[in-house]
A and B are shown apart, each in its own frame.
Chain A
Amino acid sequence: SGAFKKRTIVATEFRRFYERGDLPIAVEHRGIGNKIAWKVAIEKLDYHHYLPIFFDGLREKEDPYRFLAVQGTLDMLEHGGSKILPVIPQLIIPIKTALNTRDAQIIATVLKILQVLIVSGEMIGEALVPYYRQILPIFNIFKNANNNLGDGIDYGQRKRNNIGDLIQETLELFEINGGEDAFINIKYMIPTFESCVLN
Chain B
Amino acid sequence: MAMPVKKPISMKRAKYWCENVEEAYRFQAAGWKDEEEYACSYGVPDRWPDHQWVKRLQVKGKKGGVWYYFSSKRECLDKWLPQVKLYQYE
B64 at the interface (CB under 8 A from A): yes
Task: Please give, as numbers and ranges, the residues of chain B lying within 8 Å of A30 by CB-CB distance.
Answer: 29
Specify which of B29, B59, B66, B72 is in contact with A78 (CB 8 Å cutoff). B72
B71 at the interface (CB under 8 A from A): yes
- A37 in contact with B29 given A31-B83, A32-B83, A78-B72 (CB within 8 Å): no
B68 at the interface (CB under 8 A from A): yes
The interface bits of chain A over 45-81 (1 if a CB of B lies within 8 angstroms of the residue's CB, else 0) are 0000000000000000000000000000011001100
B17 at the interface (CB under 8 A from A): no
Contact (Cβ within 8 A) B80 A38: no
Contact (Cβ within 8 A) A37 B66: yes
Looking at the assembled complex, report how far the CB atom of B82 sits from the nearest CB atom of chain A, in whole angstroms: 10
Specify which of B29, B62, B84 is in contact with A35 (CB 8 Å cutoff). B29
The CA of A37 and the CA of B66, in the complex, are separated in Å by 6
The CA of A42 and the CA of B67, in the complex, are separated in Å by 9
Contact (Cβ within 8 A) A38 B72: no
Task: Please give, as numbers and ranges, the residues of chain A lying within 8 Å of B77 by CB-CB distance.
Answer: 33
- A32 in contact with B64 given A38-B69, A41-B56 (CB within 8 Å): no
- A32 in contact with B25 given A38-B68, A78-B71 (CB within 8 Å): yes
Contact (Cβ within 8 A) B66 A38: yes
A39 at the interface (CB under 8 A from B): yes
Looking at the assembled complex, report how far the CB atom of A147 sits from the nearest CB atom of chain B, in whole angstroms: 27
Specify which of B28, B29, B67, B84 is in contact with A38 (CB 8 Å cutoff). B67
Contact (Cβ within 8 A) A32 B80: yes
Contact (Cβ within 8 A) A32 B28: yes
Contact (Cβ within 8 A) B56 A33: no
Task: Please give, as numbers and ranges, the residues of chain B lying within 8 Å of A35 by CB-CB distance.
Answer: 29, 68
The CA of A123 and the CA of B80, in the complex, are separated in Å by 37
List CB contacts (< 8 Å) of B43-82 with chain A.
55-56, 59, 62, 64-69, 71-72, 75-77, 80
Task: Please give, as numbers and ranges, the residues of chain A lying within 8 Å of B66 by CB-CB distance.
Answer: 37-39
Contact (Cβ within 8 A) B83 A78: no
Task: Please give, as numbers and ranges, the residues of chain B lying within 8 Å of A31 by CB-CB distance.
Answer: 80, 83
Contact (Cβ within 8 A) B83 A39: no
Task: Please give, as numbers and ranges, the residues of chain A lying within 8 Å of B59 by CB-CB distance.
Answer: 28, 37
Where the two chains meet, the residues of B that have a C-beta atom closer than 8 Å to any C-beta of A are 25, 28-29, 55-56, 59, 62, 64-69, 71-72, 75-77, 80, 83-84
Can you sample 15 A-B contacts with CB below 8 Å? A28-B68, A32-B76, A32-B83, A33-B29, A33-B77, A36-B68, A39-B65, A39-B66, A39-B67, A41-B56, A42-B67, A75-B69, A78-B69, A78-B72, A79-B56
